[in-house]
Structures are given as structure tokens and as C-alpha cells.
């Protein structure tokens, strides 16, 4: 039988009236085609599939090493201590999800998805690895000073993350960087428990109140440096310090010529948003000299841009800044610190490439070595003492330490529906088409009968467009249009030109949890966290819960426009977004009043599941998100109570409404859905 079995088996010779009962044979394989799964992913020998193949397919070794891998159960596992993690220390993310979402009566925490899993052990390992990379570069190059980093709290201001950085970094004098008054207050409080030598770097635009806070911090023996972003800030610093009687330590942010050409380099170069030009730097130095305060100038800061792609660009920028540092020392400033800012990139797509903003062509050791050599070269030529090297590597520190887990709740249809689904008389609907559409229809059938498949596609498209025009003109009924759509979909499927990509609907707000994807096109690794011992059979994109056409993930790492996924077969299907620990929580919005996810803090332990949950926080409720937009849930409940009083079972209705205010805005699924239904029924007395 020819390949277009769906139409061919019933196609009459030209000139005969066509009629059939709408029950079409199953589509066959087009000649020469490779068998595919329903979603369009080639399925050669699914029995040969392995977890190693899944790891390769999703590039997990590229972007996830040394912290994420696929275990023998086909689940994503966390290696909290990096490459030094022992097998029995790996944390299975599916077990974390089960612990977090199981009801309390079953020993779980009763949290709802989406779920943000924080991994403090990974954060600790990242900080220690950064320190070790610089320590090695300093030793191997016989550098005459030390590395002393700071964490820019803007990357993630979560209390426990900042406190962890201070605790884990105390042995290394690791400090904090603030860019606003609120961040400064946060940093001041946290650093009271840190190393007394840790830097408190004060960046950002400043007014008198900001500068006063920084000087108060210095008076409390916090190692505070006020970095001038604009020349006019110097007058405020001088006046405020004299009024308070606190001598400041001052830094300058230099506006370098070196420019990072990628998206993240928009704040670099001569026309960058921040920093002082060489003329302004000289002006500040001379003014401090006149005021007998040149000894207060001790730090030079610069920032090439986030995600610096190559060490050659890095060396160029650091070398330029080091020359400015040496010149300031020559002018008499008491220089002792060069702050190279951020820019240490991470490999989002696993390509280890410098060709895009999604990857970098170096590792920690190469980065640290390039910085140390560039500073050392400039200082040695000018015979200037080697400065303390400070960096603000926030993205590289915190990106790996959290995983966002969410559920795919459904997907769109995979195959064209049979014409019988339109109604019992679908064939008659096709017979009742207007003359021009009827001609296209007969030509389509004749082409199918003769095996002219390219011609079939032409007539199918022509028929569909003509019938759409007739429907818009009111000539064609809805049943007729549905019958034509069904026929054309079947033809497209048989010809192999149907879109193989399916839409998976996810219980998540892109705008709340992945804002950088929508805002700047940032790609994050998105991977199923289970079933990785099975071959994915579907090509999919992800559509979120919001009423916004931008609420979808349709671009993935590796330049892919779809993601290999598994069928949703009546159970849960969980996906994880990785490397999103920087910026996403602070930037997330409340579109459609979807708030942030539930949060668990998971540490490696010697217990039966290799982990312990040290903190569990439910996601924001409907009441919480309403309050964020200045609504008053209590007043809203009272107003609804007056209206509910006029209803039958008014008290029960109000009880159910009040419960909804306390619930998360996201969908309730599975056992949670049953619990919610039973609670609602109890409220209603049913």
C-alpha cells in the first residue's frame, strides 16, 4: 500500500464522489524515512540507552562537572564536594524532591512545587576552589602579596547565602561588596561575624547617608573601603568624614579603555556607565594631596564586564588597570589593593568556548594565573610593591549552589486527531465544501491516489488556506473547518512535514524564577532530573503558567530550539534548571502574581539518604503576593465575607476562600490536589 494510507486507501479515481466514514487507517511510514517516536526524536535501539548517553545528550559533564552527574538510578545527583565527593556522599535530587513534597504525615515536609534546592556544601567548595586557584598562582609565580576576595551581595542577597559566604570565607579573610544602602546594612551586620581583615567594599552611587553608614562601619573596626564611582562623590566623602571625625579609606573605580564586546560588557570601555576617566583620576589624586589625605587613597577598582570570555581579554584589562595602579603609587597614594571586579565566567552550555556569552574558554586556574601575571608584570616594571588582589566573583561563586525544580504537568497532542473526533459526519462535512475548496479537496485525493506526495502537500495547504478564508467570510461552519484541519494534519503527519515539537506545560512562572531568560536571552541548562536511564522520545519546548506569550522556554544550550524529553505517562515528570543561583531570585517579578518557589537548604550528611534538610521555607502564598502589590488580604477576606453571607453555606464558602489566600498561586497536583479537595469538602460540609 502506498505511504499515504490515511487518504490513499479511500481515494477514488478522478470524477467520482468521495465519501467515507471518517475512520482512517493508522498512518504509515513514508518511503525512505527513519522510524521516529511520536515527538520526532529518532528511536533506533531504545534498549541500548544508558545514563552515560543521557549525560552526553544533555551535556551534563560540560556544564555540571564537578557538581552534577547522572547516577545509576537515572536521576541527577549532586556531588557536594566536587571531584572529592565519595559515592555514598552523592545527593539524589529525586529523593530531595520526595522529602520536600511528601505530606508531613508520611515523614515529608509538605512543601509545594516549584522548589529551590540550596546546596551550601557546593557554595563552600566553590569559594575554597577560587581561593586555592589564586593561592596556587601566587606561589607558582612567586607573587609578593595575597588574594583576598569579596562576594558582591547583589548576585544573591539571601540571608543564608551571605552568612555562609562570611562563615566559609573567614579563614581566607573573604569579605563582602555592597552597592546600595540596604546591601551595606546587610554586609555590615554579617561581617561582624567574619574575619576582622575582611574587606567591606562600598560600590554604587552614593549620597551623604550612604557614606555616613560606610564611615560608621569603619568606626566599628570593619575594614571598609569607599570606592568613588563619580568624581563629585569625593566632596561628600571628605565633608562627611570631617563631620563624623572618621578618616576614610578611599578607592577609585577606573573607566578602562579595554572593552568586553559581549552583552555583559556594556558597562566597560570609555563610554561605560561607571568609573572615572584618567583625567578625573588625576583630579581626585591632586585634590586629596591638597587636603593632606592622599594616604587615604589605597584601592583601585575596575570591572571589564561579567562573563569575560578569554584570558587574553582579561590580561589586557588587568594590565591596563595595573598601570594606573602603579601611577597612583608614583604620585604618592598609599596604594595596597587592586580590585579586579567581577567577570569570572561560568560555562552555561558546557562548550568550554569563548565564542558566546554562554560559555568561557578557561577555568579557575587559568583565570587566577592570568590575573597574577598581569599585575606582577606591570608592578615589577615600575618597581611597585605587589598589591593585594581582590575580586568580586559573585556569579562564579553562587551559580552552582542552587537548583530550581519544577514539574511538567501536561503536553499538547502528539499525533493528528482522527477525523472521527470531529463528529460522526465528518466525511459529509468535507463533501459540503464550496466549489473552489471542493476542487482542491478532489485534487488532493487524486494526488494521493497517484502517489504524488509533493503535490499532496501543495493541495493540502491550498485547501486549508481557502477554507480559513471561507470561515472568516461566514461561508463555512466550524465543523467543516475542523474536518479540513484534521485532514490536513493527517496529510502533514504522513508526509513527515508536521511540526514534531511538542509544548510541555510547566508549573512555573518564567518571570519569577528565570527572568534573565526573558530579559536578556540568558540560557540555563534545563534537564529532566529522573528517567535518564531511558531514551527521551519527544522534542519539546516549555510553556509556563503566566498569561503571557513570552512565558516560554524555546531556546536551549547548544543552540537547540527544543529539548529532548520523555513522555508524561500519568505520573510526575520533574525538570531542573541549573546554574541559576546568581541574580534570578533578586530579579524575579510577580507577573500574574506568581511568587517565588518553596526553598530547602540541603547539606550532605551520613544519614540514610546522604543529606539533611537544614531549612525549609514554603513558597509565597497568594496573600503574600497580594501584599507585595499593596493589597490587604484581611480586608479582602472581610469584604468577601459580607458577600458570602448571602450565599447558602456562606461560612463554609468563606472558609474555602480564606484557605485559598494561604495557598501558593501555583497548581496543586497529585496527593496535594486530593488533600486540597478533601479540605474544601470539609469546609463546605460535604
Q: Give catalytic residue positions.
A: 547
Residue with cell 542577597: 157
- Per 3-state DSSP, what percentage of the chain is helix, strand, and coil (rounded to 5)? 45, 15, 40
Q: Give the three cell numbers for residue 655.
A: 472558609
Cell of 570: 500519568
The interaxial angle of helices 311-330 and 278-290, nearest 10 deg, is 30
Q: Residue 186: left (phi > 0), alpha (psi -120 to 50), or beta?
A: alpha
- Count of beta carbons in the 10 Å neighbourhood of residue 489: 18
Q: Which of 174, 121, 588 is nearest to 400 (CA)?
A: 121
* Cα(606)–Cα(266) distance, integer angstroms: 47
Q: How far apart are CA 66 and CA 363, in angstroms?
A: 12
Give the Cα separation of 353 and 356 in Å (integer).
7
Neighbours of 268 (CB within 10 A): 29
Rg (Cα) of the chain, in Å, rounded? 31
- The H or E element spanning position 500 is none
d(CA 469, CA 473): 6
The rounded distance, in Å, linking the Cα atoms of 23 and 426 is 10
CA distance 449 to 445: 6
DSSP-derived secondary structure for 597-629: PEEEEEEE-SSTTSEEEEEEEPPPPHHHHHHHT
How many other CB atoms are there within 10 angstroms of residue 248's CB atom? Answer: 23
Cell numbers for 560, please give them: 537547540
Contact 348, 557 (CB under 8 A): yes
Q: How far is CA 559 from CA 348, 373, 514, 562, 609, in A?
A: 12, 35, 18, 9, 36
Residues near 681 by beta carbon (within 8 Å), at least 6 away in sequence: none
**Rounded distance between C-alpha atoms, residue 609 and residue 400, angstroms:** 21
Question: Distance (Å, rounded) from C-alpha 349 to C-alpha 588?
Answer: 22
Instruction: Tell how far CA 512 is from the center of its chain.
Output: 10
Round to the nearest angstrom and report the end-to-end CA distance of the chain.
59
Amino acid at each position: 500500500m502506498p505511504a499515504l494510507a490515511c487518504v490513499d486507501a479511500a481515494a477514488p479515481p478522478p470524477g467520482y464522489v468521495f465519501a467515507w466514514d471518517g475512520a482512517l487507517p493508522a498512518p504509515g511510514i513514508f518511503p525512505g524515512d527513519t522510524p521516529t517516536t511520536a515527538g520526532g526524536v529518532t528511536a533506533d535501539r531504545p534498549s541500548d540507552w544508558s545514563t552515560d548517553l543521557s549525560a552526553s545528550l544533555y551535556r551534563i559533564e560540560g556544564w555540571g562537572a564537578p557538581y552534577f552527574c547522572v547516577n545509576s538510578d537515572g536521576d541527577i545527583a549532586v556531588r557536594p564536594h566536587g571531584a572529592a565527593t565519595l559515592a555514598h556522599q552523592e545527593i539524589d535530587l529525586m529523593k530531595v524532591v520526595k522529602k520536600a513534597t511528601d505530606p508531613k504525615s508520611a515523614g515529608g515536609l509538605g512543601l509545594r512545587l516549584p522548589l529551590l534546592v540550596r546546596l551550601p556544601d557546593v557554595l563552600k567548595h566553590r569559594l575554597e576552589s577560587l581561593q586555592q586557584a589564586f593561592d596556587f598562582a601566587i606561589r607558582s609565580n612567586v607573587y609578593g602579596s595575597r588574594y583576598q576576595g569579596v562576594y558582591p551581595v547583589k548576585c544573591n542577597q539571601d540571608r543564608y547565602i551571605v552568612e555562609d559566604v562570611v562563615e566559609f570565607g573567614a579563614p581566607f579573610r573573604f569579605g563582602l561588596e555592597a552597592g546600595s544602602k540596604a546591601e551595606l546594612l546587610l554586609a555590615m551586620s554579617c561581617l561582624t561575624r567574619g574575619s576582622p581583615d575582611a574587606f567591606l567594599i562600598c560600590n554604587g552611587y552614593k549620597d551623604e547617608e550612604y557614606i555616613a553608614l560606610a564611615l560608621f562601619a569603619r568606626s566599628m573596626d570593619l575594614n571598609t573601603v569607599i570606592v568613588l564611582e563619580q568624581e563629585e562623590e569625593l566632596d561628600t566623602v571628605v565633608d562627611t568624614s570631617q563631620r563624623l571625625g572618621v578618616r576614610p579609606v578611599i578607592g577609585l573605580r577606573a573607566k578602562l579603555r579595554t572593552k568586553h564586546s559581549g552583552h555583559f560588557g556594556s558597562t566597560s570601555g570609555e563610554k561605560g556607565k561607571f568609573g572615572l576617566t584618567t583625567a578625573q583620576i588625576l583630579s581626585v589624586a591632586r585634590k586629596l594631596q591638597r587636603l593632606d589625605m592622599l594616604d587615604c587613597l589605597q584601592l583601585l577598582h575596575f570591572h571589564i564586564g561579567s562573563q569575560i570570555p578569554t584570558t587574553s581579554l582579561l590580561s589586557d584589562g588587568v594590565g591596563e588597570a595595573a598601570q594606573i595602579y602603579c601611577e597612583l603609587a608614583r604620585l604618592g597614594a598609599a596604594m595596597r589593593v587592586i580590585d579586579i571586579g567581577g567577570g569570572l565566567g561560568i560555562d552555561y552550555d558546557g562548550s568550554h568556548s569563548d565564542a558566546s556569552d554562554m560559555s568561557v574558554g578557561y577555568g579557575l586556574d587559568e583565570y587566577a594565573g592570568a590575573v597574577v601575571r598581569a599585575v606582577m608584570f606591570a608592578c615589577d616594571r615600575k618597581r611597585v610593591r605587589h598589591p593585594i588582589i581582590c575580586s568580586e566573583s559573585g556569579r562564579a561563586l553562587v551559580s552552582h549552589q542552587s537548583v530550581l525544580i519544577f514539574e511538567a504537568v501536561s503536553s499538547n497532542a502528539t499525533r493528528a486527531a482522527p477525523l472521527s473526533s470531529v463528529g460522526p459526519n465528518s466525511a459529509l462535512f468535507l463533501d459540503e465544501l464550496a466549489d473552489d475548496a471542493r476542487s482542491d479537496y478532489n485534487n488532493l485525493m487524486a494526488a494521493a491516489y497517484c502517489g504524488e506526495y509533493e503535490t499532496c502537500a501543495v493541495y493540502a495547504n491550498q485547501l486549508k488556506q481557502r477554507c480559513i478564508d471561507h470561515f472568516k467570510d461566514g461561508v463555512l461552519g466550524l465543523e467543516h473547518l475542523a474536518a479540513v484541519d484534521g485532514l490536513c494534519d493527517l496529510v502533514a503527519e504522513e508526509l513527515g512535514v508536521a511540526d514534531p515539537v511538542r509544548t510541555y506545560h510547566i508549573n512555573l512562572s518564567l518571570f519569577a524564577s528565570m527572568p534573565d531568560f526573558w530579559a536578556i536571552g540568558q540560557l540555563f541548562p534545563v534537564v529532566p532530573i529522573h528517567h535518564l536511564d531511558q531514551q527521551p522520545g519527544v522534542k519539546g519546548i516549555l510553556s509556563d503558567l503566566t498569561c503571557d506569550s513570552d512565558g516560554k522556554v524555546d531556546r536551549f544550550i547548544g543552540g537547540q530550539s527544543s529539548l529532548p524529553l520523555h513522555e508524561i505517562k500519568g505520573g510526575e515528570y520533574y525538570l531542573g534548571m541549573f546554574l541559576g543561583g546568581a541574580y534570578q531570585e533578586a530579579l524575579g517579578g510577580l507577573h500574574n502574581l506568581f511568587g517565588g518557589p518553596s526553598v530547602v537548604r540541603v547539606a550532605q550528611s551520613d544519614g540514610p539518604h546522604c543529606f539533611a534538610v537544614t531549612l525549609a521555607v514554603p513558597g509565597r502564598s497568594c496573600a503574600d503576593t497580594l501584599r507585595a502589590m499593596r493589597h490587604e488580604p484581611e480586608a479582602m477576606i472581610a469584604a468577601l465575607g459580607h458577600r458570602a453571607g448571602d450565599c447558602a453555606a456562606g461560612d463554609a464558602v468563606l472558609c474555602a476562600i480564606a484557605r485559598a489566600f494561604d495557598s501558593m498561586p501555583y497548581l496543586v497536583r497529585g496527593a496535594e490536589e486530593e488533600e486540597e479537595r478533601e479540605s474544601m469538602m470539609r469546609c463546605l460540609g460535604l
